[in-house]
Amino acid sequence: MKSSDAYQALEKCKLPADEAHSLPPAFYSSPELMKAEEMKIFRTGWVGVGRADRWPAPGDYSAMEIAGVPVIVVRGKGGRLNAFANSCRHRGARLLSGNGNCPGIRCPFHSWAYTLDGRLAGVPNMELAKNFNRDDYGLIEFHTAERAGFAFLCLADEAPDIDQWLGDFEALHRPWKLDELVSTRRREFEVECNWKPFLEVFKEYYNQPYVHPDTVNDIYNLPDEGDDTTGAYASQFGSTEGTGGLLQNSQEQPLPVMKSLEGRNRQGVRYSWVFPNMTFASGADAVWVYEIYPLEPGRSRVGMTACFTPETVAMADFEDRVKHYYRRLDDAIAEDIPALEDQQTGLASDYAQQGRFSPLLEANVAGFARWYAGQMTLTDKVSKL
């Protein structure tokens, strides 16, 4: 499909869920459209980078790539979360890699040194450089925000208002007290599929009896209709038989229900997708979070985090009992990945076509497709890089 035809086909995604088509397959496999997506999706709005407690102490940092841009996220000495281009202002060398803690940022190439708030602090052997002012050579900074215990980053010169971007997100999720949860395990891995299908499979009920027949399918009842939300996210609640945090053969190992929950929230899971790239499940006893970062049209990097209340984490036998929750996450992902890689092969075919949604079982996926189609047809905004 030509790019022009693919953009025209996006109009079918903007319809209500019971009429909408899925995204044109070219948007899952075309390098040309991925470049457009980087600019229109990842370099204009807010991108989720996971739980804010990934960086609990000053100097804690992560180096990551967002839409082809090497980025450093680091907690400053005053507690503020900062984000910078991972390029030295001298001659562009990468400054940091991986995750860790540092008192400051020092270039391994020529030892230019920066404070945790990005100011150039040390420059060896620059005494003979005329009209050199170190204040002009601080790190290129990006916008950051923390809401409901999550961290967000924006590459655009002018960031949208984060509270308008999230709309009623915090109000809808207030019963789970997301900002008080403790992240207990983070796992990162790569998957051979486009970033969108990975998020889509986590947000739909359709695949449960076919991909997870013996692991989690029996837990989930038919979901409620998708919520009517404001902001760049979609959400849908569904009741469960037991807890969605465990495999169906280990339901005798539940951790306590969150004390803040009442009514049906104590007997189900709320699945939410914060556009474009972060999704999570708010269960009665646990919350698990995924962020995904595109690397190539058919390859992505995933971060997976499990979260619990402080009271649950403080239990004497927590470390033994939480292993059953980690196993549930890992086993389900191990079943999802082959299905996703097969789907990626099919999406890359010249003969792949748009499909239709099951309005109830794929409500969040339809919501994302509608939002994505709208963003991809907006006028470009220019980012800092």
Q: Dihedral through CA 315, CA 318, CA 319, CA 322, nearest 10?
A: -160
CATH code where residue 95 lies: 2.102.10.10
Rounding to the nearest 10 degrees, give the CA dihedral for residues 174, 178, 181, 186. Answer: 160
- Mean of per-residue pLDDT scores for the chain: 96
Q: Is residue 383 part of a domain?
A: no
Domain ends where: 155, 189, 207? 155
**pLDDT tens string 115-150:** 999 999 999 999 999 999 999 999 999 999 999 999
Please write the tens of the pLDDT for every residue from 249-299: 999 989 999 999 999 999 999 999 999 999 999 999 999 999 999 999 999
Rg of the chain over Cα atoms, rounded to whole angstroms, equals: 22
Predicted confidence at residue 312, as pLDDT, reads: 98
What's the Cα-to-Cα distance from 162 to each of 80, 169, 227, 320, 355, rounded to whole Å?
Answer: 16, 11, 20, 39, 33
For the record, the structure tokens of 82 come out as 């900062």
CA distance 385 to 378: 19
Arithmetic mean of pLDDT, 335-354: 97
User: Is residue 94's pLDDT more than 90?
Assistant: yes
Residue 383 pLDDT exceeds 90? no
Domain membership of residue 319 (yes or no) is: yes
Q: Tell me: do 226 and 332 sit in the same domain.
A: yes
330, 341: one domain: yes
* Per-residue tokens: 26: 């070219």
* Mean local confidence (pLDDT), 93-105: 98
Peptide bond preceding 223 in cis form (omega within 30 of 0) = no
Q: Which of 275, 279, 289 is nearest to 154 (CA)?
A: 275
Which residues neighbour 296 within 8 Å (Cβ) at sequence distance 6 or greater?
A: 31, 34
At 2, is the pLDDT very low, low, confident or very high (cuts 50, 70, 90)? confident
Average pLDDT over residues 358-376: 97
Residue 237 is predicted with a pLDDT of 98
Residues 148 and 193 in one domain: no
Q: Write down which residue in 155, 180, 205 finishes a domain.
A: 155
Per-residue confidence (pLDDT) for residue 379, from 0 to 100: 63
Please name the amino acid found at residue 300: S
The residue segments making up the domain with residue 12 are 3-45+167-376
Please determine, for residue 32, whether its predicted confidence score (pLDDT) is greater than 50.
Answer: yes
Domain boundary among 128, 155, 182: 155
Label residue 1 by pLDDT band (50, 70, 90). Answer: low
Above 50 in pLDDT, residue 382? no
The structural domain count of the chain equals 2
Q: Tell me: the pLDDT tens digits for 147-188? A: 999 999 999 999 999 999 999 999 999 999 999 999 999 999
Same domain, yes or no, for 225 and 304?
yes
- The strand pairing partners of 71, in sequence order, are 64, 85
Q: What would the two tokens of residue 127 be?
A: 């005494």
Asked whether the beta carbons of 50 and 32 are under 8 A apart, the reply is no
Residues 62 and 144 in one domain: yes
Instruction: Tell me the β-bridge partners of 342.
Output: none
**Tens-place pLDDT, residues 302-343:** 999 999 999 999 999 999 999 999 999 999 999 999 999 999
Residues 200 and 149 in one domain: no
Give the pLDDT confidence score for residue 3 in this predicted structure: 80
Whether 348 shows a pLDDT value over 60: the answer reads: yes
The pLDDT of 198-209, averaged and rounded, is 96
Q: What is the CATH number of the domain that holds 362?
A: 3.90.380.10
Please report which confidence band the pLDDT of residue 79 belongs to, taking 50, 70 and 90 as the band edges. Answer: very high
- Relative orientation angle of helices 363-376 and 195-202, to the nearest 10 degrees: 150
Peptide bond into 209 cis (omega under 30): no
- Do residues 173 and 196 both lie within one domain? yes
Q: Which residues pair with 99 in a beta bridge?
A: 62
196 and 299 in a single domain? The answer is yes
